[in-house]
Amino acid sequence: PQMRRHGLSHLIERHGLFVLDRHRAFDDAYALWQFLQLCAPHPQFNGTFEKLVGNAPARLLLDDDGERVIR
């Protein structure tokens, strides 16, 4: 809420995320994954994330090695 903009480009710049080729599907998804990894340790994040996507029928998740896991 303190920040004026929350687009992916702004998140990349604000948090110093590594992006090789912006606006390419894999690179944008990887930037989002990096951002989620930064958020995960914060206590409020997991509850909010679960509320937003917890009821999705099949969630695509990445394990610690970046491998896809479906649950």
At a CB cut-off of 8 Å and minimum separation 6, what does 14 contact? 3
Backbone angles phi, psi at 23, to 5 degrees: 70, 20
Look at residue 59 in the predicted model and tell me its pLDDT.
Answer: 52
Contact 8, 28 (CB under 8 A): yes
Look at residue 71 in the predicted model and tell me its pLDDT.
Answer: 58
Q: Is the pTM of this model over 0.85?
A: no
Look at residue 16 in the predicted model and tell me its pLDDT.
Answer: 95
How far apart, in whole angstroms, are the C-alpha atoms of residue 60 and residue 36? 14
Mean pLDDT by groups of 10 residues along the chain of 71 residues: 84 94 92 92 86 67 68 58
Look at residue 69 in the predicted model and tell me its pLDDT.
Answer: 67
Domain ranges of the chain: 8-70
How far apart, in whole angstroms, are the C-alpha atoms of residue 59 and residue 57? 7
